[in-house]
Amino acid sequence: MTKRAGKAATLADVARKAGASTAVVSYVMNNGPRPVAPETRERVLAAAAELNYRPNRVARALRSRTTGVVGLILASASNPYFGALARHIEQALDEREKLTLIGNADYSANRQQHLADRFLAAQVDGLVIVSADGAADVAVEARAAGVPTVYVHNAPESPRTGRAFAVTADNDAAVLEAVSHLRTHGHTRIAFLAGPDDAGPVGRRRAAWETALSGTASPLLRCAYSRAAASALTRQLINEDAMPSALITGSDEQAIGVLAAAHAAGVPVPGRLAVVSLDGTPDSAYTAPALTVTEQPLRSMAQQAVDLLLDGTSPRPAAQAGLVLRHSCGCSPAQQSGPVAGARDRR
């Protein structure tokens, strides 16, 4: 009855109260690896309940050399695309009874390295890395430490050896779909809004666009992956009267910034400017006008990454990015359903 406040009950406390050894108590708590007589089991369970016993995962981790914790390093949690990916990864890990240690690298290779170090010191069972650019391969250390590592969204540049995988979407197919759809709307010159450099998946998207549009004098634009940067660029283009008539943005964040600036300047979308974005986050369904996007299969990518991390293999096929037609491309609102077309409540 009297519960000593400062002290949590331990295995030994339970054993004492149940009149058994710590070994049997452990066998009961873990259902094994040795059998326990039903009557003893009852006594142990009763004692544990009475003492409000909660196994100390730290001690277990030390002994069994596995913590049940996975580290997740995000390029940036501010970007909803990465945020959504993180959510799905956390969920997939939770379903596998893993806890998620999260960290924000803020697009900095240094911070990414720093976080990886701290996570490895914390003895994580695995590392999931969502990086935006081809930063130095963090996984080499993880591999040296025998910690499996999976890259999501962006594969590291260095050749992988040992147990490090990457789950990426098919960027080429997404770009081709976007281009051919804009062509059905009559566009022949289609601009592309890329990131500040060509590292990472957006760089590959840009390359695919370049191939598809070669010889058409379609302009290449660049700005940081933020709404603010895209807005500023758009305002500038409008002022200089250099606005293209069709634009593919490398990320939703940029598309949303473009839309906001166009709206503020009274530039009609899609009338004067048709936009297709390549991420397809939930946000994209609620812009005005609603964005046409190629939706990245974030959930299935997350699922696959976790399978790869924990099993070394994934039973599920890689899902395809799919074109979701809304209004920013020029498709008529009438032929589409409401503003939530293509939006789902996730989780």
Residues that bind DNA (CB under 7 A): 8, 10-12, 19-24, 26-27, 29-30, 33-37, 39-40, 53, 55-56, 59-60, 62-65
Please state the closest distance from residue 217 (CB atom) to its own copies, in A: 29
Q: Which does 285 bind (CB under 5 to 8 A by kind): its own copies, DNA, none?
A: its own copies
Q: Which does 26 bind (CB under 5 to 8 A by kind): DNA, its own copies, none?
A: DNA
- The full length of the chain comes to 347
Please state the closest distance from residue 310 (CB atom) to DNA, in A: 18
| 127/106 Cα distance (integer angstroms) | 17
| 333/64 Cα distance (integer angstroms) | 59
**Coarse DSSP helix, strand, coil percentages of the chain, rounded to the nearest 5 percent:** 45, 15, 45
CA pseudo-torsion sign 235, 240, 246, 249: negative
Q: Do 122 and 101 meet the contact criterion of CB atoms below 8 Å apart?
A: yes
The DSSP line for 284-312 is GGGSSSPPEEEE--HHHHHHHHHHHHHHS
Please choose, from the candidates 265, 306, 324, the residue with its C-alpha nearest in 3D space to the C-alpha of residue 94. 306
Which of 85/202 has CB closer to its own copies?
Answer: 85
Which of 16/263 has CB closer to its own copies?
Answer: 263
Instruction: Kindly compute the dihedral angle of the four CA atoms of residues 204, 205, 209, 212, in this order, to the nearest 10 degrees.
Output: 70
Q: Which does 10 bind (CB under 5 to 8 A by kind): DNA, its own copies, none?
A: DNA
Q: Which does 64 bind (CB under 5 to 8 A by kind): its own copies, DNA, none?
A: DNA
Which of 62/264 has CB closer to DNA?
Answer: 62
Q: Which does 101 bind (CB under 5 to 8 A by kind): its own copies, DNA, none?
A: its own copies
Which of 55/176 has CB closer to its own copies?
Answer: 55
Please state the closest distance from residue 45 (CB atom) to DNA, in A: 12
Q: Which does 6 bind (CB under 5 to 8 A by kind): DNA, its own copies, none?
A: its own copies
Which of 22/168 has CB closer to DNA?
Answer: 22
Please state the closest distance from residue 122 (CB atom) to DNA, in A: 12
| 281/294 Cα distance (integer angstroms) | 9
